[in-house]
Amino acid sequence: MRVAIPSETDAGLDSPRSGHFGHTPFFTIVTVEDGAVTSVETVANVDHDAVGCGGVIDFALGLDLDAIVVVGMGRPPFMRFTQGGIAVLADATASTVGDVVAKLIAGKVPRMDSDAVCAH
C-alpha cells in the first residue's frame, strides 16, 4: 500500500504530521508491504495559495496513492479522493509520520466516514 501523510517537514518518518492536508508543506509517502515499511519519500506540496484546494487535490491524485491519512477533510476533497480510488483514512492522535505509520500497520487507522467530514 502506498499512503501519503501530510507532513510539516521533509524529515521522513520523523516529520511532525500536518493537521491540514491542503496547506501541508509536504506529503510523506510511505509504502507498506506485508506489515513493513519498504520505502519512504517526501514530496513538496504545491502552493495552496496559487492553486487552491483543487490544485492540491489534483497534485495528490497524481502521486499514485492507495490511501491518504488525514486529521480531517472537507466533503469536496473527500469525494474527489474516494471517487479517484484513494482511501481516505483518519487519525487525529499521532504526532509524527512514523507514529501514523505504526498505527496504520497495527490496523488502528480507520477509513474516514463520510459523515465525519469537516464543514469548512
- Residue 55 DSSP symbol: H
Distance CA 37, CA 68 (A): 15
Could you read off the pLDDT tens digit of each residue along the chain, which spans 120 residues?
A: 999 999 999 999 999 999 888 889 999 999 999 999 999 999 999 876 665 577 888 999 999 999 999 988 888 888 899 999 999 999 999 999 999 999 999 999 999 877 666 665
Distance CA 98, CA 111 (A): 18
Whether the CA torsion 99, 76, 74, 54 is positive or negative: it is positive
Q: Which grid cell is 49?
A: 495559495
What pLDDT was estimated at residue 116?
61
* The length of the chain, given as a count of residues: 120
CATH class of the domain comprising 2-116: alpha beta
Distance CA 50, CA 98 (A): 30
Distance CA 57, CA 61 (A): 6
pTM: predicted TM-score of the whole model, two decimal places: 0.91
Is 8 in contact with 16 (CB distance < 8 Å)?
yes
Residues 14-34 as b/e (b if ≥16 CB within 10 A, e otherwise) read ebebbeebbebbbbbbbebee
Domain ranges of the chain: 2-116
Give the count of beta carbons closer than 10 Å to the beta carbon of residue 75.
12
What pLDDT was estimated at residue 91?
93
